[in-house]
């Protein structure tokens, strides 16, 4: 844990003048770098609590709103969006899910989430739509949101006057603030403000990637299908009742151009095949997007240094198998919003002082679950038949043990976010 080296000397933060929607403020309480779901949700929560914020995003609005990422929202994330007034369209258009189907050894088993977790489930609602909703709310409220604002550096992290240096509309600018929150991802700038001497990183790189496609085709099943097969992992997901999101395990370094559409569909059919449904075939449609996603686990500790705090991918990466990435980011900023709100109201830094430790306990639990799902369902190119039998034994235990199934369901639907 990194305590604040300069605790606020007064019971309330310094007053900050309100900024016009399109102004370039030079001073704010909290500078948020990155307009992904983490940064935008944090801004929304703080704005509703009366905490002044400025959001800086290096990309343009069109890029941010089209950036394809996760599509599974845990119950706590759904609840947080609703509480923030950002859940109306999600509730109209999102797809509530009460389970997943595991396919292995040419058989299928459904994991019933509500029955195993006391009623919890998940929501299928794409990150692109979460971002669109939060951007629209931010702009409607008039909060400063600067696109094409490239952050160059953060200085003064270990003082009570950190400064964000950025370029916007061809001019170098500075933003003075009380706190800086890095929601700018794994390759972002803010995490570099944490000196190497106090930063520890943990990483695992997996020997396979995902080939992901979007297709104008209705989903084959009304819930997600996770498939283990001798040919490799496959996942059937969806974006809407008419758009499917599908994934195939492929070797690292795969070029999407080497996978024409027919080859993808044929391979998906082969990996999802089970003996009880020999004629089941995916409904094929035009493939509108195709990309390769490398798989890695990564954690940076601590998530706070002085007046700089990290959230989401800036602090941790999980492989997508457990659907934890966006949800971990949301959990981070929910904890952080509570801490910053308390600081704003009382001057207390207690929540900020424990932010890193509080989040990291949940992060490492999610890292373990994502690792479990990844290594249990994927076929490592170097694994032996013995290793494969161990995977099948674990999947069979989930299918036959209520305790094992409940452990999977509780982690998938999301662990509680600590107060």
Q: Catalogue the active-site residues.
A: 97, 226, 320, 324, 412
In what helix (H) or strand (E) does residue 235 lie, and over which residues does it extend? strand 234-240
Name the burial class of residue 401, with classes exposed (0-12), middle (13-18) and buried (19+) by CB atoms within 10 angstroms of its CB.
exposed
Q: How far apart are CA 305 and CA 159, in angstroms?
A: 10
Q: Which two tokens stand for residue 299?
A: 């954690």
What are the DSSP calls for 276-305, one per residue?
A: T-TT--PPP--EEEEEEEEEEEEEEE-SEE
CA atoms 309, 130, 140, 172: torsion sign:
positive
Residues 6+ away with beta carbon under 8 Å from 258: none
**Torsions phi, psi of 131, nearest 5?**
-65, -45
For residue 271, give the 3-state DSSP assignment.
helix
Q: How far apart are CA 405 and CA 100, in angstroms?
A: 11
Q: Are strands 27-33 and 53-56 parallel, antiparallel or unpaired?
A: parallel
**Torsions phi, psi of 202, nearest 5?**
-125, 135
Does residue 55 contact residue 145 with C-beta atoms inside 8 Å?
Answer: yes
Q: Which two tokens stand for residue 27?
A: 């001073």
Residues 6+ away with beta carbon under 8 Å from 225: 100, 101, 103, 234, 235, 236, 272
Q: Which two tokens stand for residue 13?
A: 């933060």
Residues 6+ away with beta carbon under 8 Å from 269: 281, 282
Residues 6+ away with beta carbon under 8 Å from 414: 74, 75, 76, 77, 120, 122, 327, 331
Q: Which two tokens stand for residue 12?
A: 């309330």
Integer CA distances (angstroms), 243 to 90, 129, 199, 284, 291, in order: 16, 14, 42, 11, 16
Does residue 11 contact residue 109 with C-beta atoms inside 8 Å?
Answer: no
């Amino acid at each position: 844990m990194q305590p604040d080296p300069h605790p606020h000397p007064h019971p309330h933060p310094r007053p900050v003048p309100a900024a016009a929607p399109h102004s370039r403020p030079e001073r704010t309480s909290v500078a948020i770098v990155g307009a992904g779901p983490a940064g935008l949700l944090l801004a929304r929560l703080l704005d509703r609590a009366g905490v002044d914020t400025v959001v800086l995003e290096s990309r343009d609005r069109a890029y941010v709103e089209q950036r394809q990422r996760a599509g599974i929202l845990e119950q706590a994330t759904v609840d947080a969006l609703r509480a923030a007034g950002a859940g109306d369209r999600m509730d109209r258009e999102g797809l509530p899910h009460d389970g997943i189907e595991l396919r292995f050894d040419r058989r299928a088993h459904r994991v019933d989430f509500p029955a195993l977790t006391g009623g919890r489930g998940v929501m299928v609602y794409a990150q692109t739509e979460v971002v669109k909703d939060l951007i629209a709310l931010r702009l409607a409220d008039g909060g400063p949101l600067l696109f094409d604002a490239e952050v160059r550096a953060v200085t003064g992290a270990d003082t009570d006057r950190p400064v964000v240096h950025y370029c916007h509309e061809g001019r170098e600018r500075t933003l003075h603030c009380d706190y800086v929150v890095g929601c700018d991802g794994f390759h972002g700038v803010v995490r570099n403000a944490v000196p190497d001497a106090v930063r520890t990183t943990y990483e695992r790189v997996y020997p396979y990637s995902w080939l992901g496609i979007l297709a104008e085709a209705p989903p084959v099943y009304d819930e997600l299908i996770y498939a283990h097969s001798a040919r490799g992992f496959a996942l059937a997901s969806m974006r809407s009742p008419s758009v499917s999101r599908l994934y195939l395990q492929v070797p690292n370094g795969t070029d999407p151009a080497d996978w024409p559409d027919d080859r993808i569909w044929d391979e998906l059919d082969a990996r999802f095949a089970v003996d009880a449904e020999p004629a089941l075939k995916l409904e094929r449609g035009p493939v509108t997007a195709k990309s390769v996603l490398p798989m890695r686990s990564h954690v940076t500790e601590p998530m706070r240094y002085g007046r700089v705090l990290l959230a989401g991918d800036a602090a941790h990466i999980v492989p997508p198998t457990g659907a934890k990435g966006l949800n971990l980011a949301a959990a981070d900023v929910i904890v952080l919003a509570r801490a910053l709100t308390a600081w704003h109201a009382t001057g207390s830094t207690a929540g900020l002082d424990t932010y890193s430790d509080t989040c990291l306990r949940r992060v490492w639990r999610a890292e373990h679950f994502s690792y479990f799902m990844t290594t249990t369902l994927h076929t490592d190119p170097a694994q032996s038949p013995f290793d494969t039998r161990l995977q099948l034994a674990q999947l069979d235990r989930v299918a036959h043990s209520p305790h094992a199934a409940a452990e999977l369901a509780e982690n998938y639907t999301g662990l509680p976010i600590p107060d």
